[in-house]
Chain A
Amino acid sequence: MKKWRCLVCDYIYDEAKGWPEEGIAAGTLWADVPAAWSCPDCGASKADFELIDS
């Protein structure tokens, strides 16, 4: 399971946790998150996320 960070505001999408609030189940891989999904904190687009090492 990987984590992706929003370049704009530092929100972290954790594949292990998903974002059930908006129907993205725990365990959803980043690749399977809809392209139209955007950062829940600041609204930046999916393309504005980067993979976090470790």
Chain B
Amino acid sequence: MTTDTLPAPVVWKDSKRYLWPLGALVLTLPLIGTFAYQATGWAAMLWIGFFIFYGLIPLADKLLGEDNANPPDTAMSALASDSYYRWALFASIPVYLAVWVYMIWFATTVEMPWYGWLGCAMTLGIGCGLAINIGHELGHQTSPLERMLAKFVLAPGGYGHFYTEHNRGHHIRVATPEDPATSRFGETFYEFFPRCIIGSFKSAWQIEAKRLEREGKSVWHYSNDNLQTWAMTLVLWTAITVWLGWTALAMVVVAAVYGGSLLEVVNYLEHYGLKRQPRADGGFERCQPHHSWNSNHVVTNVLLYHLQRHSDHHANPTRGYQTLRNFEDVPRLPSGYAAMVLIAYFPPIWFRLMDPKVVEHFKGDMSKANIKPGVRDKVIAQYSAATAA
């Protein structure tokens, strides 16, 4: 046998490479709704964001299924440093800002029934939710340009506190009862949402206050990351109100609240019931892959920049989206985030689907789970009895 009969080394190609710009492209879909409304006069067209987010995307996830493939280790370093991926992500920022302005302009200047206006606001809110995810990816990078852009992209949706709280709050306390952004077994999304929002705002403020105090500065110093992002929000919202009036401000607020709720409903499903075990010194064990819920559904993974490969994200938070890996034997959601979000809105269905998965994960020993305080003893007793029997 001679060497020339050996197969040539296989050059690995990233199958998702040319799909990543879809993250920017999907932000332009509201425009189709506005054109369709003008062509047909049907205000329902302005709810296009809803149809796509709650209908088309879960359906596409179902049809196109999962992608478990990981890049080989030898390809990782080139993949991480390939600036194409950086630019594919950056491209979404001007698109988002342009669509944000256009949608507000459209809804405040074109004649439409009130439910058309609301459709525009809600469609815009989905854009805001997606933009928080873009800010999330940017905010995890350590280069100054990415970090600055992260603050900027969070501003239209009024979600600047996330820049601080997510990295320096959530990532530290994830899957512990101390984390406002980790949902507990038995907690409905409607209980989680206010607890998470209030807790996250408080946390963001305290984290920056502590940092500035350490640096000998006032909490009101201009370098406070919260104040910086909130100032950007204030300038943007004031400008759009001066230009287009109070209905523009109302629309911006509706979109911001709804966009924020989308981010938090995703938070709700990312760590539901999971818990890091306490150490003897009062801290918690390291965050490990089995402390996050994952999904490999390819459509949602492309649109969310691999956010659903969440275990790798928490284990390696500065790893860029294109290099996030699927892990075997980690908690796995039955579908992509888009479908799971819909289920989270209906607590009885959510509990029926997810509670058995949490119980199975802990092999019935629910004393290891992160449980809503009021029902903790009852839940532990209920499942230990069931396991014993």
* Chain A interface residues (CB < 8 Å from chain B): 7-11, 21, 38, 40-45, 48
Contacts and interface: CB of A to CB of B under 8 A. Distances in A.
B221 interface: no
Interface in B153-208: 167-168, 171-172, 207
A28 B135 CA distance: 37
Given A43-B287, A43-B316, A45-B318, A7 B168 contact: no
A49 to B, nearest CB: 10
Which of A7, A10, A38, A42 has the largest number of chain B CB atoms within 10 A?
Answer: A42
Contacts of A8: 140, 142, 167-168, 171, 317-318
Contacts of B287: 42-43
A35 to B, nearest CB: 14
B182 to A, nearest CB: 14
Query: Looking at chain B, what size class is its interface with the partner chain?
Result: 10 to 19
Contact of B171 (A7, A43, A45): A43
A7 B147 CA distance: 12
B209 interface: no
A42 B286 CA distance: 8
B286 A10 contact: no
A21 B172 CA distance: 17
A43 B317 CA distance: 6
Interface of B: 140, 142, 167-168, 171-172, 207, 211, 279, 281, 286-287, 314-318
A43 B142 contact: no
Which of B140, B167, B279 has the largest number of chain A CB atoms within 10 A?
Answer: B167
Chain A interface mostly: loop
A7 B207 CA distance: 14
Contact of A42 (B142, B211, B281, B317): B317
B317 A7 contact: no
B51 to A, nearest CB: 38
Nearest to A40: B286
A44 B211 contact: no
Contact of A43 (B168, B211, B286): B286
Given A7-B142, A8-B142, A40-B286, A45 B167 contact: no
